Amino acid sequence: MSEPRPAQRAPGTRPPLELALETLLFVADGPVEIGRLQRALEVDRAAAEAAIARLVESYQHRGVRLQRCGETLQLVSAPEAAEYVERFLGLSDRGRLSAPVLETLAIVAYRQPVTRAQIEAVRGVNADYAIRTLLARNLIKEIGRLETVGRPAVLQTTPEFLQYFGLESLERLPALPETLIALAGALS
């Protein structure tokens, strides 16, 4: 009995764009820039965005999700299955984030890019420990430094932040209550 042969396609035909896009994201070892995917797939931005939207839709009731962080994409496991993944991989609970650390993370998420001084102005207390904790867990990262006295670090969230909270993009963050928006405006 012979081995089954892989499906052959007619010369000059291309597989569906979603199939090719999904394959590239599957073999990637991390987030991939959309421009890099466009070049590999030889498509324009509109075609790539349309294929991305179709993949996102097709994954809604499956075990994987397409996570977008700015101009990068990555396949991730469905957040609602996290407990099974953790059990299967033998991952221990790394501990919950404390209230001050979560508060700092929320400030970064909603006001990014942001500096330590801006975080402390909102919180009213020193944020060094919280920032160190978030950097160590790779939930935030330094994206540069301001060209001002002291050259403060500028911080923003990472793709791991999205994974941790089961978000596909920053646009999925819950809306802030009006009272918090007014308060933040008064502090600016």
**pLDDT score of 81:** 85
Tokens 């933040």, residue located: 184
Q: Say whether both 103 and 149 belong to one domain.
A: yes
**pLDDT score of 167:** 82
Strands of the 72-77 sheet, one edge to the other: 32-33, 72-77, 64-69
Q: What is the CATH number of the domain that holds 138?
A: 1.10.10.10
Q: Residue 76 belongs to what domain range?
A: 17-81
Domain-embedded: residue 136: yes
**pLDDT score of 63:** 92
Domain closes at, from 81, 113, 135: 81
**Sign for the pseudo-dihedral over CA of 130, 135, 140, 143:** positive
Torsion of CA 169, 175, 181, 184, to 10 degrees: -40
What pLDDT, in 10s, does the model give residues 132-163? Answer: 999 988 999 999 999 988 899 999 999 889 88
**Domains held by the chain: number:** 2
Domain-embedded: residue 43: yes
Q: Say whether both 54 and 105 belong to one domain.
A: no
What pLDDT, in 10s, does the model give residues 72-127? Answer: 999 988 888 888 887 777 665 556 788 999 999 999 999 999 999 999 998 889 99
Q: Say whether both 138 and 173 belong to one domain.
A: yes
Better-scored residue on pLDDT, 47 or 96: 47
Domain-embedded: residue 57: yes
Q: Say whether both 122 and 175 belong to one domain.
A: yes
| SS3 state at 100 | helix
Q: Say whether both 64 and 115 belong to one domain.
A: no
Domain closes at, from 81, 114, 130: 81
| Confidence band of 181 (pLDDT split at 50, 70, 90) | low
Domain-embedded: residue 6: no
Better-scored residue on pLDDT, 63 or 2: 63
What pLDDT, in 10s, does the model give residues 55-75? Answer: 999 999 999 999 888 899 999
Asked whether the beta carbons of 170 and 69 are under 8 A apart, the reply is: yes
How far CA 118 is from CA of 88, 94, 121, 131, in Å, comes to 41, 28, 5, 12
Domain-embedded: residue 92: no
Domain-embedded: residue 143: yes
Q: Say whether both 125 and 163 belong to one domain.
A: yes
